[in-house]
Structure 1
Amino acid sequence: MSRETSLFSGRPSELVGQQIAGYRIEQEIGRGGMAVVYRARDLRLERTVALKLLAPELARNDTFRRRFTHESRAAAAIDHPHIVPVFEAGETDGVLYIAMRFVAGSDLRHLLDREGPLPPATAVRVAAQVASALDAAHEHGLVHRDVKPGNILVSRGTDSDHPEHVYLTDFGLTKKSLSLTGFTTVGQFVGTLDYVAPEQISGKPVDARCDVYGFACVVFEILAGHPPFLRDDDMALLWAHQYDDPPPLTESRPGLPPRMDPVFAKALAKNPDDRYPSCLTFVAALRAATAGGGAGAGPAPARMGRPPGEEAPKPPPRWAEPVFVERT
């Protein structure tokens, strides 16, 4: 039908200006294989929202619709400063939709592409906000399964000590729902290859430790400028996640303290039992390694490129005042 074509054909959307479920669509701001996200106007409350419209074939699956309703409500019930609030989820005219807070800013993918690797203090500050969001979701029984820079939004912070405010998004469309309904074929998984945990690839049951692995891949990229595994094709990348040891972070960024390498080795362990039990535990270990804490390490200040006793530099101004652009 024409609605399916306009949503997922890859050409400019025909929905701009139309009303769906009480929202007037203003501009497309992002799309993937299963959903398109628009900036829209809530005509009832006169506010701007991010409106995600799911692929029409998902709405035709009864099992998915039921699970979508259940898990969207679970996501909406999480009141956390670093999780994008879900205002409403439902179905209209055969289309499933989720209305969320519109975050003015950019996503981490865009910022990393623009800025490159971030200073360690900035990386830890950003990572701590994402980790708190993930752990809060885990406490509510939700596993994200697709932690990646594109699902981490960055908006302006409150002051110079908090130059950015980070949000985790994409909880409304859970990957477990897709696999259970047959939307993905047997043996497949939903996720992004650069950040996918070994147990996801092998089809084993996953829990919060799957997000610890994916999150660690993202933090590795924040610091190194690239994900931990770089391979020429998808099959080689899948193999690396399952069987290859992660490279030391300091190979890509020699100025960082060597004590950070074992922190990532633990977070990226192939066996979930060998990883950190939570994302905040991982960040705490990373912060200690970055600050010079922990045993068996040399003096961190010299390795960080400043004399002992000198105050750590402030984050770069361009990061402290991010350029606000529409996400694409």
Structure 2
Amino acid sequence: MDMTLNDPLLGALLDGRYRVEQRIAVGGMATVYRGTDTRLDRVLALKVMHPGLAGDAGFTERFIREAKAVARLSHPNVVNVFDQGADGTAVFLAMEYVPGRTLRDVLTDRGALSIRAALDVLEPVLAALGAAHRAGLVHRDVKPENVLITDGGMVKVADFGLVRLLSGSAAGPADAAGPADSGSATTPGMIMGTVSYLAPEQIMQTEPTDQRVDVYAAGIVLYELLTGQKPYTAENPMQVIYRHLHESVPAPSLAVPGVPPELDAIVAAATARDPQYRPWDAVELLAALQRVRRALTPEQLDAEPPASTRPTPRFATNEATSVIAAPPPERTSVFAFPPEQQLLTPPRPYNEPTPARAPRRRGNAGGNGSGGGRSRRGLVWGSVLGAVLLVVAVVSYFLSGAVYAAVPSVLGQTQAQAVTTLNGAGLQGRFVQAFSETVPAGQVISTDPGVGARARKSDGVKVTLSRGPERINVPDLTGKPLDQAKQQLTAARLTPGTTSQDYSPSVPQGSVISTSPAAGQPLPVNAPVSLVVSQGPAPVSVPNVVGQPVTQAQSALTGAGFKAALGGDQAYSDTVPAGSVTAQDVTGTAVPGSTVTLTLSKGPQPVVVPNVTGMSESAATNALTAAGFKVKESGLSLLGLLNVSSQSPNAGQSAPRGSTVTIKF
């Protein structure tokens, strides 16, 4: 039965903004849905805490702390958290939606990976964890279920739901969650996490956990990538917990003979039961893993694991069809912390039956005692051999102590402090520098060999000091065409950002006016730079020069930033004198530099003067007015009794419309 049909959140609108559309996964603390941010119209993932936990203030605080913690991280391999909120009983996170599948899905489908593929997955995971560790955050639930692989092959770490803040980190007191774990919200007497990946100190809770619990879990994940199986399996969680506490993780090469010993050593170091023998954090583990990768041949990296490491599907058959049923993923769990004695004593039944003791032999029946003599001689020789071996071991130990020394931790120290620490261990330091986004300038980022590893005293230890964050000055792109500007940004290891447009009187259309941040500003590698591109000069008002003499009109247009041109044709105008402007082709606003074409007036259009001789005064006046002329009378008309005797201009001549015709009586 599909339980999603009864999910009350499907179709809901959380916080009036986030529409819940499809259930993706169900975990130990929350359910993840695909949804849409209706305000920004983008697809995202909604992680909603289970209703049974939402009423628990501790769980709710932990849930909210995830949003705050991940919001502090800016890393391409960490799933972004956009928002956190509550809607009734639904406490939720709005997160980046990562289309693809989990690393657990990959392992279920393929089993063990080639070494190259395993490192290609684990290295970005360690890069993400390293960024968190250097920011003072510990994930505490690293496992394949929390590693997402996009359709394009991008690896991202998700679910910082158990994140804790290291003491002394930049977070304020409100981010800490109680004294039990110096920032952890775990309650004494409870174990929280996924049992297959729990470090011993997480189980025992004898001391505050730090970033090395993530290193331990990453070592378990590496074992699983190389072998296709978990190192510890048992019938119940308590048996797995016991093995974490009392057994070392086996070498991957025991399960897959082709695994190089260097990777066996990496797994052993990362999963050391005593945290002081593990790499200090994910950054140091990543550096060690990359050194191993460089030492391996292409044949070693690309060798396919044996077919025996591939998963065997389990079939559940019914009358209609056969369905492959994969084992369910292991979820984050919260369970009661048992008494310490129960953790130290193996639970029964265990994986293998306890071997029965052989009965004690009291002598050889019917023998003459010679067997006992041989036993005594063997005991003597065994004692002698043991003593010799002991002497050799002691001598070798002291000789190795003269040649080798364990590398002490100098991470975060200045060069002077590191020199003192290394000299105290009988080692010399060879100092190099590298950029770091998280380690302040002048402090140690890493050592080679890593912390706890044996180093030859004569060789020294390579110590990498931080140069601080690498910053790239924004190049001056003013006046560069847009395509050329983008190429220059990419070449400078910056990212072309958003592009907007604006007017510019000096920058040609299509070229860059300015950048944000401005030229010369320092930015991290691959940081975005926004570009403002010119649309050319802004339009301005065109002067109205109609009616003006041509020279005056040309001066007015030139002064406003335009070009003036005379049209080839002229036009008659009853109102504009000849030689003045009667029309212009551009009005309103235009781009400066545009050409305005002027039409000059030829004055009023000539009209043929009608013949009004012999007409009465009123008739003559009406005829001339209708033809467009003004009328002037000369002489006396004797109250209209006389007719027109002559006119000037004469009838049939042409005269400008509006000119005066004189009539005489």
Alpha-carbon distance between aligned partners in 2 of 1:291 and 1:173, rounded to the nearest angstrom: 34
Q: Which has the higher helix share?
A: 1
Aligned residue for 2:282? 279
Aligned residue for 1:231? 234
Letter in 2 for 1:15: L
Aligned residue for 1:262? 265
> Cα deviation per residue 1:111-150 (whole Å; 9 max; x = unaligned)?
1100111110111111110001111112222211110100
Structure 1 residues 73 and 262: CA distance shift in structure 2, 3 A: same
Tell me the SS of whatever aligns to 1:190: strand
User: TM-score, with normalisation over the residues of structure 2?
Assistant: 0.41
Aligned residue for 1:160? none
Any residues of structure 2 matched to 1:148-163 within 5 Å, and which? 148-157=143-152
Aligned residue for 2:11? 17
Which of 199, 212, 216 aligns to 1:213? It is 216
Larger Rg, first or second structure (1 or 2): 2
Any residues of structure 2 matched to 1:8-157 within 5 Å, and which? 12-21=6-15, 22-66=17-61, 68-157=63-152
Letter in 1 for 2:146: N
| C-alpha displacement of 1:64 | 4.7
| C-alpha displacement of 1:224 | 0.8
1:166 aligns with 2:160: no
Residue pair 1:87, 1:100 contacting (<8 A) in 2 also: yes
Alpha-carbon distance between aligned partners in 2 of 1:131 and 1:75, rounded to the nearest angstrom: 16
Residue pair 2:141, 2:160 contacting (<8 A) in 1 also: no
Aligned residue for 2:195? 193
> Cα deviation per residue 1:36-80 (whole Å; 9 max; x = unaligned)?
110011111111110011123443344554554344222112111
Alpha-carbon distance between aligned partners in 1 of 2:282 and 2:268, rounded to the nearest angstrom: 14
Q: Which has the higher strand share?
A: 2
Alpha-carbon distance between aligned partners in 1 of 2:129 and 2:184, rounded to the nearest angstrom: 26
Residue pair 1:124, 1:283 contacting (<8 A) in 2 also: no
Letter in 1 for 2:274: N
> Higher relative contact order by CA 8 Å / sep ≥ 6: 1 or 2?
1
Alpha-carbon distance between aligned partners in 1 of 2:150 and 2:233, rounded to the nearest angstrom: 29
Residue pair 1:195, 1:227 contacting (<8 A) in 2 also: no
User: TM-score, with normalisation over the residues of structure 1?
Assistant: 0.79
Length, aligned pairs only: 290
Letter in 1 for 2:156: Y
Structure 1 residues 165 and 47: CA distance shift in structure 2, 3 A: same
Tell me the SS of whatever aligns to 2:145: helix
Alpha-carbon distance between aligned partners in 2 of 1:282 and 1:262, rounded to the nearest angstrom: 12
| C-alpha displacement of 1:230 | 2.5
Residue pair 2:148, 2:157 contacting (<8 A) in 1 also: yes
Structure 1 residues 141 and 57: CA distance shift in structure 2, 3 A: farther
Residue pair 1:195, 1:217 contacting (<8 A) in 2 also: yes
Tell me the SS of whatever aligns to 1:214: helix
Structure 1 residues 142 and 101: CA distance shift in structure 2, 3 A: same
Aligned residue for 1:3? none
Alpha-carbon distance between aligned partners in 1 of 2:28 and 2:244, rounded to the nearest angstrom: 23
Q: C-alpha root-mean-square deviation of aligned residues, in Å?
A: 3.0
Residue pair 2:279, 2:285 contacting (<8 A) in 1 also: yes
Alpha-carbon distance between aligned partners in 1 of 2:266 and 2:186, rounded to the nearest angstrom: 34
Aligned-pair identity (%): 38
Residue pair 1:37, 1:52 contacting (<8 A) in 2 also: yes
Alpha-carbon distance between aligned partners in 2 of 1:107 and 1:62, rounded to the nearest angstrom: 30
1:243 aligns with 2:267: no
Structure 1 residues 207 and 30: CA distance shift in structure 2, 3 A: same
Structure 1 residues 82 and 46: CA distance shift in structure 2, 3 A: same
| C-alpha displacement of 1:174 | 3.8
Alpha-carbon distance between aligned partners in 2 of 1:185 and 1:196, rounded to the nearest angstrom: 16
Structure 1 residues 173 and 288: CA distance shift in structure 2, 3 A: closer
Alpha-carbon distance between aligned partners in 2 of 1:125 and 1:281, rounded to the nearest angstrom: 17
> Cα deviation per residue 1:205-255 (whole Å; 9 max; x = unaligned)?
111001000111111101110122223332221011111011111011101
Aligned residue for 1:161? none
Gaps of 5+ in 2: 166-176, 306-327, 330-665
1:222 aligns with 2:211: no
Structure 1 residues 182 and 13: CA distance shift in structure 2, 3 A: farther
Alpha-carbon distance between aligned partners in 2 of 1:62 and 1:284, rounded to the nearest angstrom: 39
